[in-house]
Chain A
Amino acid sequence: MTLLELKNISVHYGRIQAIKEMSFTVEEGEIVSLIGANGAGKTTTMKTISGLLNPTGGIISFMGEDITKMKAHIRVVQGISQAPEGRGIFPAMTVLENLDMGTFGRKDRTGVKDDLERVFTLFPRLQERQKQYGGTMSGGEQQMLAIGRALMSRPKLLLLDEPSMGLAPQFIRQIFKIVTEINTQGTTVLLVEQNANQALARAHRAFVLETGEITHSGTGKELLANPAIKEAYLGVG
């Protein structure tokens, strides 16, 4: 089933067009990666899907429903959850309070405990640091918290905007492993990355974004093998 569909989406910042008539779909159960250079429009795409930005043209549908005009805070309740670029941790809230914020839009309080346990199983460090203020967590810990918090709304679609940003190589591998784990547990993932190697290796399908347009698409393996992409995004050899 098609979970998310973007049809001819355009996004402008004032007069500057950041996204040009972009179309793609995310099927239920997939990991889809979006790779591209700095300023290609990856974050803009993510914010448009979560509703922080309004497209100037095109249609977004989620589970077959047109959500183009739907407010961002309602999209969360519908099942779209974003761990934003730069992590967006509430610095003056504890780890537990941050995780609790992830449940803000939830109507069913009953499943919250299970989900908290699930997050603590994925990220034992968060359980140890429950009482610590978000602002004092390390970069890697904040990234775990951002992903954990996004999971607390029990999303159907998880949007991850550069989860590997600023992390040590060893840590990056761990984060990607967890992304795959979250996916096998049943959450569809749309992943934005500059770390193209890992992002393509983990993805079912992937797109390459250049200045607001999709220039390549295919399975993760296909793109990994594509010489043009190898040269531009993976470093030769």
Chain B
Amino acid sequence: MIPTLLTLLPAASADDSSWITFDIPSLMQNFWSATFDGLTFGSIYALVALGYTLVYGVLNLINFAHSEVFIMGCYGVFFTLSFLGFGPSAPNLSVGSIIVNLLLALVVAICASALTAFLLERLAYKPLRKRNAPRLVFLITAIGASFTIQYTIFLVRGPNPEPALTMFKSRPIFEVFGTFIYDQQLIIVIAAVIMMVITERFISKSRTGRGIRAVAQDPDTATLMGVNKEKIIITTFVIGGILAGAAALFYVMKIPSGVQYNGGFILGIKAFAAAVLGGIGNVRGALLGGLLLGLIGNYGQILLGNSQWTDVVAFVVLVLVLLLRPEGILGTSLGRSKA
């Protein structure tokens, strides 16, 4: 965790005269490519952010171990693709068989993440609920669970990232505003948005979704209505896991070298920030927050000419937004996502 944090800081040796400069021409020039790529990253943040938001909604708990739910999905992707013979260079396969392989990796990733989320709730949080533990204990348990999973992976796989696997060679497919849009970007954004729309529909229309919203607003009254709170909680964790598993496939597609024991940490923090930015507990807020954070990070990076600044810029904006709107852009209620 510490080394990862250090990489956030600018290298001390950078020549001081250019420590902060605003490269506006560069931003103008690269605006659209930064936008498309920002939306791609933003979709991934949003998928992970939903997991934070849903669990926060029903348990009022910031599930810090959700970043590890996500990274387990990344390992699911990595192992599936290695098993299927993918390597550092793009595979020599037909489009059809690549799609089949990626769908297989998606299924494994979703299972890995959902199972992690399920076990996390059953082994870590449920026993605390049975004992009526105070809120702080849940939070500390969440952080503890996060470290436990990270260092278990560390023990098994070591400190280094897994070798990068290329899923397919990303190709430009059409041009908008003089900038190419790549098939990879399109796949990620479209798939993520479809998953989020399905989630939103599910929460607002299905019987289980009504149960989730009821528990989020008033758990005791929800129980009086016949809602099985425990079933709703575990379902919520699993939904968050499924979305994180899908995010894992897209993340490894975009950053093949990102599969590492602590590889979920920064992404988890950003996804959490996205949830807070949009309004934690709010399903649409997670989407909005994720996309905004992806865009802001990319613009900031170009404007400041240094990729190390991406995260800093994103968080500065987060703090500014929260100063103006402490409940996030769309407010905090799970149910209010409909309004």
**A76 to B211 CA separation, bound complex (whole angstroms):** 15
Most chain A beta carbons < 10 A, residue from B214, B222, B223, B225: B225
Asked if residues B225 and A101 are in contact (CB atoms below 8 Å), the reply is: yes
Tell me if A88 and B218 are in contact (CB < 8 A). Answer: yes
A24 within 8 A of B: no
Contact call A77/B214, Cβ cutoff below 8 A: no
> A150 CB to closest chain B CB, in angstroms?
8
A-B contact count (CB 8 A): 73
Interface segment out of the listed A89-97, A115-123, A194-202, A213-221: A89-97
Is A97 within 8 A of B210, CB to CB? Answer: yes
B224 touches A92 (CB 8 A): no
Closest to B228 in A: A73
Is B335 part of the binding interface, using a Cβ–Cβ cutoff of 8 Å? yes
Q: A109 to nearest B CB, angstroms? A: 11
Report Cα–Cα, A149/B222, bound state, in Å.
12
Q: Which of B210-233 contact A (CB under 8 A)?
A: 210-211, 213-214, 217-218, 220-229
Interface pair B227/A104, CB less than 8 Å apart: yes
Check if A92 sits within 8 Å of B336, measured CB to CB: yes
A85–B319 Cα distance when bound, in Å, is: 39
In the complex where A73-B229, A104-B207, A133-B339 touch, is A90 in contact with B224 (Cβ < 8 A)?
no
Known: A104-B207, A104-B210. A90 touches B223 (CB 8 A): no
Question: Is B53 among interface residues, defined by CB-CB distance under 8 A?
Answer: no
A143 adjacent to chain B (CB < 8 Å): no
A102 on the B face (CB < 8 A) = yes
Chain B CB within 8 A of A64 CB: no
List which B74-109 residues lie within 8 A (CB) of chain A. none
Min C-beta distance of B229 to chain A, whole Å: 7
CB contact under 8 A between A93 and B228, given known A52-B223, A72-B223, A133-B339: no
Contacts A88-B218, A93-B217; is A105 near B226 (CB within 8 Å)? yes
Q: Does B55 contact A (CB under 8 A)?
A: no
Q: Is B334 an interface residue (CB 8 A)?
A: yes
**A41 interfacial by beta-carbon distance below 8 Å:** no
Interface: A164 (CB within 8 A)? no
Tell whether A76 pairs with B226 under 8 Å between CB atoms, given A90-B335, A92-B333. Answer: yes
Complex: chain A residue closest to B211, CB-CB: A104
A14 to chain B, nearest CB (A): 10
B134 CB, min distance to chain A CBs, angstroms: 13
B214 surroundings in chain A (CB, below 8 A):
90, 93, 101, 104
A84 within 8 A of B: yes
Contact B333 A52 (CB under 8 A): no
Chain A positions 92 through 114: 1 when the CB is less than 8 Å from some CB of chain B, otherwise 0: 11000100111011100000000
Evaluate contact between A102 and B220: CB separation under 8 angstroms: no
On whether the beta carbons of B213 and A90 are closer than 8 Å, the reply is yes
Q: Tell me the smallest distance from the CB of B232 to a CB of chain A, in Å.
A: 10
Most A CB contacts (10 A, CB to CB) among B217, B333, B334, B336 go to B217
Q: Which of B210, B213, B218, B339 has the most CB of A within 10 A?
A: B218
Taking the closest CB of chain A, its distance from the CB of B60, in whole angstroms, is 15
A84 touches B220 (CB 8 A): yes
B225 near A104 with CB under 8 A, answer yes
Q: Which residue of B lies closest to A100 (CB)?
A: B210
User: Could you tell me the distance between the alpha carbons of A231 and B199 in the complex, rounded to whole angstroms?
Assistant: 59
Q: Beyond A52-B220, A93-B217, is A104–B335 a contact (Cβ under 8 Å)?
A: no
CB distance from B322 to the nearest CB of A (A): 21
Query: Once bound together, how far apart are the Cα atoms of A102 and B221, in whole Å?
Result: 10
B226–A88 touching, CB < 8 Å: no
Most A C-beta atoms less than 10 A away, residue of B213, B217, B221, B224? B224
Please name all residues of chain B whose beta carbon is closer than 8 Å to the beta carbon of A50 when the two chains form the complex: 224
Question: 17 extra interchain contacts, Cβ-Cβ under 8 A, other than A52-B220, A101-B210, A104-B226?
Answer: A73-B227, A73-B229, A76-B224, A77-B226, A82-B224, A84-B221, A90-B217, A91-B217, A92-B213, A92-B335, A93-B214, A93-B217, A101-B222, A104-B207, A105-B225, A149-B225, A153-B225
Sort A-B residue pairs by CB-CB distance and give the 10 closest, nearest first.
A105-B226, A92-B335, A88-B221, A76-B226, A104-B226, A92-B336, A90-B217, A92-B333, A104-B225, A101-B225
5 contacts across the A-B interface (CB closer than 8 A): A73-B227, A77-B226, A92-B335, A93-B335, A104-B226
